[in-house]
Amino acid sequence: MSVLIFAENWDGKFKKSTYEAISYATELARQTKESVTAVVIGNVSDEDMKSLGKYGAQKVLSVKNDKLNTLSPSAYASAITQAVQKENAKIVVISYTYSGKSVAGRVAVKLKAGLIAGATALPSSTSPFTIRKKCFSGKGLTDVVVSSDVKIVGLTPNSYKVNTEDGSAAVESFSPTFNDTDFASTSKETKKTSGKIALTEAEIVVSAGRGLKGPENWGMVEQLAELLGAATACSKPVADVGWRPHHEHVGQTGITIGPNLYFAIGISGAIQHLAGVSSSKVIVAINNDKEAPFFKAATYGICGDAFEVVPKLIEEVKKFKSAH
Amino acid sequence: MKFLVCITQVPDTTTKITFTPDKKAFNAAGVQFIINPYDEIALTRALELKEALGGTVTVINVGSASTEANIRKALAIGADDAIRINAEANDAYYVAFQISEVAKKNGYDVIMTGKESIDFNGGQVPTMLGELMGLPSVSVATKLDINGTTATLEREIDGGKEVVESKLPFVAGAQKGMAEPRIPNMRGIMTARTKPLTVVEPVACDMLSGSAIFDLPAAKGDCKMINPNNVAELVNLLHTEAKAI
């Protein structure tokens, strides 16, 4: 038996969230004394597939098919399901990215498997199989108990640390069968937000709100983000008035994130916003209102004018970067 | 064209979340319930498409009688009729299974949901519905247009967007950007009272998962305030104390 992990790739390259999921699966397999098999769908080099051994995968099932170079949720789910059956896997780990979300539910239905949609930790118990996840958009936590034979863990990106060891995975070609209905929807075009770091995967996020007074003032936010290798984000009002695109909106009705470090610049910290960022490990709030609720949720706070503090911060980060 | 929009009710976004003392359930006392914001976006887009292409919009909900006020609100916004499956939503699979059993009988062209509910945030109903009904699904769609028997959707992917073409029928989960939610007008509220709301009983369904215990996140420690004239101290603390840079 093995723990199966869907090793998602993006344009032929694995993402950090994939390594997190393999590391997670490896720890699970250690507890249940099983091995880890990764399923790779699409065009990834043998070298890259073998390198999954560094994160704990013993075996890679490689599914290559010209129709599968872009995401087709139904076809991907068919392939993963057949891999689960081939390996007789009882636990399936899928990183809960946009792609992962699109396939996890389908695999769950095909296998009649209970799904933890957004796990944030290893199981607290394997019998009954219990895993903690966030609920109410981060305002609460819940222990989900899965009672089915096969269990699927949808692992929230940025919630488990990547572990590396020595090793190389054995790559095996795998040819699942597909139905015509697997291809009823097709990808026509991808539009990449060029050169930017995906918000859900970013280690550091620099976010700003209405306190910046207008979209023309985002230059310093972007500059700070670039210096730190961070993604940029914003609050709901800013996205609503169109200063920033909707896909940058973090909060209860936006994206929920959990980076290592979150900068909140000129964001008051309404309960809906905090819900989306509360799992950040370290929060820095910069606000000119000392009563801003964000100061209650932050690790570090600076009460001051963002237009003075942020440029100083940029200078200090530059100094720090050149010294380290 | 027949549209089906799946809606659920959730605590208002300003709600301070608490749980019962035994931690086994959400404490609903004094909580205002609203239509899940993403479902409202789905409903609005369905209404816009119906106005352009003709047809009907049906809303469906899995819930007890207590959800009827919000179902009537959906009718007031403009849906033509409603179906309530008389059961407590257990998990995503249960909800998707119950809806699929009803939807299979009625032959809808477009099935829409929100991309997720803001209470359990699983985001699995659109995907599971697609699988249960043998239909394509786009779980997080920011755009939806229909031309004849083909739909063009824009879906969110990590670090960008993807344009997807799908045959009808299909299932789509609505994300912000697809439409601006509508506020019901007086005429809508008046007519909603007499629009058909059918109650059906659930069918037998496997229970695959459930929530056992609820908890609140650990409270953060005190915020360390730093003098705005000493920003260097912040960088130093982020490096030496928080080890975040």
* Tokens representing residue B148 in the block: 């004849």
- B113: β partners: B173
In angstroms, what CA-CA distances link A159 with A100, A120, B198?
15, 5, 43
Q: What average pLDDT does chain B have?
A: 95
Nearest-neighbour CA in chain A from B74: distance (Å): 19
Distance from CA of A23 to the nearest CA of B (A): 20
For B158-195, the pLDDT digits (tens) are 778 899 999 999 999 999 999 999 999 999 999 999 99
A195 pLDDT more than 70: no
Q: What is the mean pLDDT of residues B82-91?
A: 96
Q: Evaluate the omega torsion of the peptide bond into residue A128 and state whether it is cis, within 30 degrees of 0.
A: yes
Instruction: For strands A140-146 and A129-135, give the pairing.
Output: antiparallel
Domain spanning B2-216: which superfamily?
HUPs (3.40.50.620)
Q: pLDDT confidence of B221, banded at 50, 70, 90?
A: confident
- Nearest chain A residue to B220, by CA: A297
Cα A57 from Cα A53, distance rounded (Å): 5
Give yes or no for A285 touching B (CB within 8 A): yes
Q: What integer pLDDT is reported at residue A116 of this predicted model?
A: 97
Q: What pLDDT score was predicted for residue A194?
A: 56
Per-residue pLDDT tens for A238-259?
999 999 998 899 998 888 899 9
Q: What percent of chain A has pLDDT over 70?
A: 99
Between B221 and B30, the more confident residue is: B30
According to the model, what pLDDT value does residue B160 have?
A: 82
Task: Enumerate the residues of chain A whose CB falls inside 8 A of the CB of residue B215.
Answer: 140-143
- Write down the architecture of domain A199-323 according to CATH: 3-Layer(aba) Sandwich (3.40)
Whether A100 has its CB under 8 Å from any CB of chain B: the answer is no
> Does the structure show a pLDDT above 90 at B219?
no
Q: Which tens digits make up the pLDDT trace of A207-217?
A: 999 999 999 99
Q: What is the ipTM of this complex?
A: 0.93
For A64-103, letters b (16+ CB in 10 Å) and e give: eeeebebbbbbbbbbbbbbbbebbebbbbbbbbbbbbbbb
> Taking 90 as the threshold, does the pLDDT of residue A198 lie above it?
no
pLDDT computed for residue B157 by the predictor: 86
Q: Are B139 and A144 an interchain contact pair (Cβ–Cβ within 8 Å)?
A: no
**CB pair distance less than 8 Å for A316 and B138:** no
Cis peptide before A176 (omega within 30 of 0): no
**Per-domain residue ranges for chain A?**
2-183, 199-323
CB A117 within 8 A of CB B123: yes
Q: Please, which residues 19-38 of chain A have a Cβ atom closer than 8 Å to chain B? A: none
pLDDT of residue B8: 98
Q: Which of B118, B152, B210 sits opposite A253 (nearest CB)?
A: B118
What is the per-residue pLDDT for A137?
86
Q: What is the mean pLDDT of chain A?
A: 94
How does pLDDT run across A5-55, given as a tens digit for each residue?
Answer: 999 998 899 989 999 999 999 999 998 899 999 999 999 999 999 999 999
pLDDT of residue B230: 94
pLDDT confidence band for B135 (50 / 70 / 90): very high
CA dist A16 and B219 (Å) reads 29
Look at residue B53 in the predicted model and tell me its pLDDT. 97
Query: Left if phi > 0, otherwise alpha if psi is -120 to 50, otherwise beta: which for B22?
Result: alpha
Tens-place pLDDT, residues B36-49: 999 999 999 999 99
3-state secondary structure of A31: helix
Query: Would A2-183 and A199-323 be classified into the same CATH topology?
Result: yes
| Per-residue model confidence as pLDDT tens digits over A94-126 | 999 999 999 999 999 999 999 999 999 999 999
Q: What is the CATH number assigned to the segment(s) A2-183?
A: 3.40.50.620
At A277 the three-state DSSP class reads helix
CB-based contact B160 A191, cutoff 8 Å? yes
- The predicted structure's pLDDT at residue B220: 75
Within 10 Å of residue A310's Cβ, how many Cβ atoms?
Answer: 26
In this complex, is the C-beta atom of A50 within 8 Å of any C-beta atom belonging to chain B?
A: no
Q: What's residue A11's pLDDT?
A: 86
Mean pLDDT score, B120-124: 94
